Structure 1
Amino acid sequence: MFTMLPLEDIRVLDLSHAAAGPYCSMLLADMGAEVVKIEPAHGEHFRQVLGSSIFVNLNRNKRGIVVNMATPEGKDIVLKLAHQSDVMLESFTPGSVDRLGLGYEAIKESNPGIIYASISGFGQTGPYRDRPGYDVVAQAMSGLMLATGTPDGPPVRIGTSLIDFSAGLFVAFGIILALRNREKTGQGCRVDMSLLETAISWMNYWVTYYSMYQKLPQRWGSAHEMFAPYQVFATKDKPIFVGVSTNKFFEAFCRAFGLEHLLEEEKFSTNELRCQHRDELVPLVAEALKNYSSQELLAKLEELGIPNAPLLNIDEVIEHPQVQARDIIADMEHPLYGPVKMTKFPVHMSNMDRPLRAPAPLLGEHTEEVLLRLDYSPAEIEALEQKGVILRARKDQATRPV
């Protein structure tokens, strides 16, 4: 297996914060890119969120420096780093970096080959461009939230920051495409991604369906609008998912669970009819399954070849044999928190490893190292710190979180 990673010759200057941008640069760093992350003196806000777990996970394999970009000296540091970089990533509200003199037009003057990627709530154009963006706002405005939840309940937010992470994934893909294009043309470009468009892209077939039939998506809970019975059912101990998606499965299911009489009823004879009469069908199925234990039911469904799954919590996910066999979760030693588990890059490639090389940086951990590489002298670095332009890691930081 090769030890060289595909992006080892790519330098990324990361001005992003929160989740979407850091997830993007994490993906690039995981594949070998040298990522330098810039933070303010008080540290990125997500160092304090959810016990720092988001920051610790999303900022692995990166170097971290502290620079006050609002000062002339700080701006100069960023410009020097940008001049040496292949990619610059930011996730501020549109116009913010331009006011600092660090927008795309300013950066490409000294580095015309730069790939300048921006992630924002609504994109760099349009009437909402100046609004701050959040994952849940994109879920709400894309139609996703109105399509999520139970039929008789309110719309609900998805239980993870899916839109943030998806936007980061799309931008990472866009950056790779832009780098490939630069190889062919020698030209850099601007990459512009919004959380709103990310969320709308996940509603793709609903957009098409509405344009064809003028019908809106409904909330189905754990069920599916196209199949029945196809949802979560209760057992004696834990709920499980049961997916009876074909006539063949339905016949086998009914014979296995004492529901043969349903096979004689015309209203349950096809999947389309079963969907139309799901309000009658689902209670009958639920009654037949409730006295099984989850393990008994899962084993029986597996024997029948019917799609099924346990509902696992995170502790069970970590210990699941399939998860462990795929090596998607690994331990990494962090100087503040000790060994922590985190998800690895999820794509397996036959000739490449997926290493977790370095933990998320302490605040200002690599400031001095990076400035020395920019040819700042130790005396200049000391003077910049005295003026509040930069911050180096505290010697006692390893004993207390930021």
Structure 2
Amino acid sequence: MLPLENFKVLDLSSYFPAPFSAMMLGDLGAEVIKIERTGNGDAQRILETATFISANQGKKSVTINLKEKAGRDILYSLASKSDVLIHNYLPSRAVKLGVNYEKIRAANPSIIYCSINGYGSSTGVGDKPLHNVNAMAAAGTLALSGELDGLPSEPGVWIADLAASMYAVVAILSALMLRYKTGVGRQIDVAMVDTTLAWVSPSIIQYFLTKAGKEKKLFSYGGYGVFKAKDGYFTLAALENKKWSRLCELLGFREWLTDSIVNSIEWRKENCRLINKRINDVLATKEIEYWLELFYKNEITAEPVSEILDLVQNPYFLERGVIREMQVASQLNYYVPFPVKMNDVEFSRMCKVPNPGEHTEDILGSILTTDQIQKLKAKGVI
């Protein structure tokens, strides 16, 4: 049995953060019904195929034209029988389409209503659109990325999108627990800028402790970071004093251990660039495998930098079951299922992505007659 079995989620969203949240609820056992526009469905199907696939597996698809009153009435009927509704419309757009909280709550006072957008719904900038890179810029994440003397750089992972998704799921599960206790539904307002800011919290504290900016970014230590061996890149994290001492001995920097000032955490932070350059000069003389074996043997944390092909062939990931095969356009591909283990619970996901409107008749058959469905299809409402 899965935790959210018999729960129903309406997913009105597009792009990544909100659909990914809905998919995670599906991983936990909920039935997730994706409400798409009539015709070709979610625009992300064409614009960003990989993004769409990674955030919409295991869902059912119903196409509804929410610009039509008949379409909105269908949505309200579905909402009356659902536990959660998720969307990523800007506040004014939600009102225009009739999917704002007041309308949905009127259909179902006990529903958990979650909106995810850039700046939330409670301030004057709520209708300002943004994407992942914009949210990272606004929340200070980009300023902490990249080379110290170079341009800010966007990480390869969508930090702002994922932060919003994770906090939305936590909030939804919390609201479901509150409803269990009180019987009352909740409105959840997730702003991507806010949730990204939460992940910047350690750097904010660090800044005011040291009164310095990017050059004092979190974990700027000698012996910590990405290093280049003879045949590629790997990471090294000799943070603790005992690991730092072992590293110095192994690499021939014993002089760094004899001076109490030089061997301090403060010195390692102040001189991290110089220290890491000297360390890298040594590491560049041998292959990654040599260094990993040496560091593992001496309990110094080190890991190679994995490429995509490395991930899908990694024995660890395969044994854990967090890399699984699927077919996309008749070709072998891979997906990552819900990655957390729980005893006596088997989290599973139907990796298939639904076609637009694939489940329209099945889902709407619970609230409409066959004749009504055919008439609505003829009018372009569904």
Q: Into which bin does the TM-score normalised by the smaller protein fall?
A: over 0.9
Structure 2 counterpart of 1:384: 376
Letter in 2 for 1:35: V
Pairs aligned (count): 381
Letter in 2 for 1:309: E
Letter in 1 for 2:157: T
Pick one of 153, 157, 181 that aligns with 1:156: 153
Structure 2 counterpart of 1:340: 333
Kindly state the Cα deviation for residue 69 of structure 1 after the two structures are TM-superposed. 0.5
Kindly state the Cα deviation for residue 354 of structure 1 after the two structures are TM-superposed. 1.4
Kindly state the Cα deviation for residue 149 of structure 1 after the two structures are TM-superposed. 0.6
Cα distance in 2 between the residues matched to 1:291 and 1:200: 40
Match runs of 1:2-401 below 5 Å: 4-40=1-37, 41-50=39-48, 52-212=49-209, 214-218=211-215, 224-225=219-220, 227-265=221-259, 267-333=261-327, 336-377=329-370, 379-390=371-382
Cα distance in 2 between the residues matched to 1:238 and 1:332: 30
**8 A Cα contact 2:91 2:126, kept in partner:** yes
Cα distance in 2 between the residues matched to 1:208 and 1:291: 38
Cα distance in 1 between the residues matched to 2:351 and 2:282: 52
Cα distance in 2 between the residues matched to 1:157 and 1:283: 24
Letter in 2 for 1:230: Y
Cα distance in 2 between the residues matched to 1:216 and 1:152: 12
**8 A Cα contact 1:8 1:34, kept in partner:** yes
**8 A Cα contact 1:113 1:189, kept in partner:** yes
Q: SS state of the match for residue 323, structure 1?
A: helix
Cα distance in 2 between the residues matched to 1:373 and 1:209: 56
Cα distance in 1 between the residues matched to 2:360 and 2:291: 57
Cα distance in 2 between the residues matched to 1:81 and 1:21: 19
Structure 1 residues 287-296 or 200-209, which shifts more?
Answer: 200-209
Measured against aligned partners, the alpha-carbon deviations of 1:7-64 in whole angstroms (never above 9, x if no partner) come to 01211111011101101100001111011101112321221234x1221221111100
Kindly state the Cα deviation for residue 311 of structure 1 after the two structures are TM-superposed. 0.4
Q: SS state of the match for residue 242, structure 1?
A: strand
Q: SS state of the match for residue 163, structure 2?
A: helix
Q: 1:358 to 1:370 in 2, by over 3 A?
A: farther
Cα distance in 2 between the residues matched to 1:295 and 1:122: 46
Structure 2 counterpart of 1:394: none
Q: How large is the Cα RMSD of the aligned pairs?
A: 1.8
Q: 1:268 to 1:99 in 2, by over 3 A?
A: same
